[in-house]
Structure 1
Amino acid sequence: MRSSFRRAIAVACLAIPVFFALVGPVLAASAPRARQAPFGPSEWSPFGTDRLGRDVLATALTGGRTFLLVAAATVLIAYLAGFLIGVTAAATGRRWVDDLLMRPIDVLLCLPSLLLIMVAALRTEGAPVAVAGAIALALVAPSARFVRMAARSVVRGPVMAALRMQGQPARYRYGRYAVRELARPLAADIALRFTAAVYFLASANFLGLGFDTTAPDWAVAVAANKDALTTAPLAVALPAGLIVLLVVGINLLADDLLTDPRTVALRLAERSRRG
């Protein structure tokens, strides 16, 4: 019961921002186009207006799709590069290949992520593609490090050696065993990297380094309306709440779905014994 309730909360937290991002632009099409009084009541929703006189709810409905797609694309590109680097470093038997791949990763880990984003934004006058590329670059290093650590114990472990001695083909050793063993930890790490991407993207937009300052993006809306937090709190609370729900929902759902079945079985057995 407790697990089902936790999963329901996770799905609800994730469903709300995803609904806003996917269906929101269609619902916001009926919002009035004309600007209203800034930080005042709105004729379309009870959430009021933002600093530009736009309806807060309509802005939130239209500002999530780009934010969500950019974050997802950034994580996908970064993790693909990190996965290739990490798996190659873990599988190689040559020390110099491992050093050639991982020492630049170590240097990249030392660089502050926000500094990379700020440099990319200043050099390109805030081009969203450059900012997204800098975020992806900041995520490559920790992703490669984690993949190398996770894959090393699998591809060089005793089970893989036993399968090799039994004459199992590489297709089975890597295509089935390695994939099965790595799927759960890598999926959990991807959820963590998505959280980091949302944090970096929101921070960049909050600092005015990402999307245009008049864009309806959730992070831009938080930064643009923060001065009216006491007079028009919903203009900040709604987009900020959607970002929080997105991050919390993804991590709760990942924790629930990716729990090791053996751990779950042990917990159930312990509860049954106590009962």
Structure 2
Amino acid sequence: MTARRGLSVALLAVPLLCALGGPVLARGAPGERSAPFGPSPWSPFGTDRLGRDVLAAALTGGQTFLVVGVLTVLGAYLAGFLIGVAAAAAPWMWLEDLLMRPVDVLLCIPALLIIMVAALRTEGSAVAIACAIGLALVAPIARFVRMAAAGVVHGPVMDALRMQGETRAYRYGRYALREMARPLAADIGVRFTAAVYFLASANFLGLGFDTTSTDWAVSVAANKDALLIAPWSVVLPAVLIVLLAVGTNLLVDDLLPDPRGLAAGARRAGPDA
């Protein structure tokens, strides 16, 4: 394991362990609440605005944040991927325009406006907000996938596979997907960071989940006014969010290196390296 991969795994492991195993560890926290933004008898991080232990809240707030973020990005990427690949492989220009022009219109609508409308129309439904964030992500994903797929689906290898009689499932499901794996995996990391940003922004504006939730994004927004007197109530969940986003992107970059970069590095290292 390279040093870069070890660092990315370590960064990613902290929020994942907190999200997956945190609720079990938080069972030892006292059930009664203390004074808001004061000391806590259970951890050195003190209490939040509701008198809950900051560490216990962080340990129990990761599951919701992680599930919402991951499902939102996966759903948005599935829709954007299908639109992008279909547009890149469209045999007629009018069909490509039919698929991509609505995407261009969606790109012109601010993401926070979509989230605000969904939140106001559904009285802050978590499902509606997650769907709104996914809808805001579909347009840039579709355009990115179309750009990444254009050179693959119209390339000479795809033409050769078609002339050899390979099935459409093989051409697109194996060859094209394998060729696009690196840029798509890197883009998924970026879109996950964007989903985190939109989710945190919605909660900052009071449009997201229940303000008493221990969700990491909610905790940052709800306790922001006490940053100077109780910094851990904001810093701890914020750090977990940052570690999750940075660790994900670093790990993806390390697991899918550019073959041309590896070859160039091998040539610079020499035959005896």
**Range into which the TM-score falls when normalised by the shorter chain:** over 0.9
Which of these residues, 53, 56, 66, is aligned with residue 54 of structure 2?
56
Structure 1 CA distance for aligned equivalents of residues 219 and 154 of structure 2: 49
Unaligned runs of 5+ in 2: none
Report the secondary structure of 1:125's partner residue: coil
Give the aligned residue type for 1:211.
F
Measured against aligned partners, the alpha-carbon deviations of 1:21-78 in whole angstroms (never above 9, x if no partner) come to 0000011011111010111111111111111110000000000100000000101111
Say whether the 8 Å CA contact 2:118–2:129 is kept in structure 1. yes
Q: Shift of residue 202 of structure 1?
A: 1.2
Find runs of 4+ consecutive structure 1 residues off by over 6 angstroms. none
Structure 1 CA distance for aligned equivalents of residues 68 and 173 of structure 2: 30
Structure 2 CA distance for aligned equivalents of residues 82 and 171 of structure 1: 19
Give the aligned residue type for 1:173.
R
**Higher mean displacement: 256-265 or 240-249:** 256-265
Structure 1 CA distance for aligned equivalents of residues 195 and 14 of structure 2: 19
TM-score normalized by structure 1? 0.95
Structure 2 CA distance for aligned equivalents of residues 67 and 169 of structure 1: 40
Measured against aligned partners, the alpha-carbon deviations of 1:140-180 in whole angstroms (never above 9, x if no partner) come to 00111111111111111122112323444434433332121
Partner of 1:73: 71
Report the secondary structure of 1:180's partner residue: helix
Structure 2 CA distance for aligned equivalents of residues 193 and 63 of structure 1: 21
Say whether the 8 Å CA contact 2:209–2:218 is kept in structure 1. yes
Question: Residues 128 and 169 (structure 1 numbering): CA distance in 2 closer, same or farther, change over 3 Å?
Answer: closer
Unaligned runs of 5+ in 1: none
Count of matched residue positions in the alignment of Structure 1 and Structure 2? 273
Structure 1 CA distance for aligned equivalents of residues 238 and 204 of structure 2: 11
Give the aligned residue type for 2:230.
A
Partner of 2:230: 232
Structure 1 CA distance for aligned equivalents of residues 201 and 213 of structure 2: 15
Structure 2 CA distance for aligned equivalents of residues 131 and 59 of structure 1: 22
Partner of 1:144: 142
Which of these residues, 153, 167, 180, is aligned with residue 178 of structure 2?
180
Q: Shift of residue 238 of structure 1?
A: 0.3
Give the aligned residue type for 2:250.
L
Backbone CA RMSD of aligned residues = 1.6
Residue 48 of structure 2 corresponds to residue 45 of structure 1 = no
Q: Shift of residue 274 of structure 1?
A: 11
TM-score normalized by structure 2? 0.95
Give the aligned residue type for 1:243.
I
Partner of 1:93: 91
Structure 2 CA distance for aligned equivalents of residues 196 and 274 of structure 1: 44
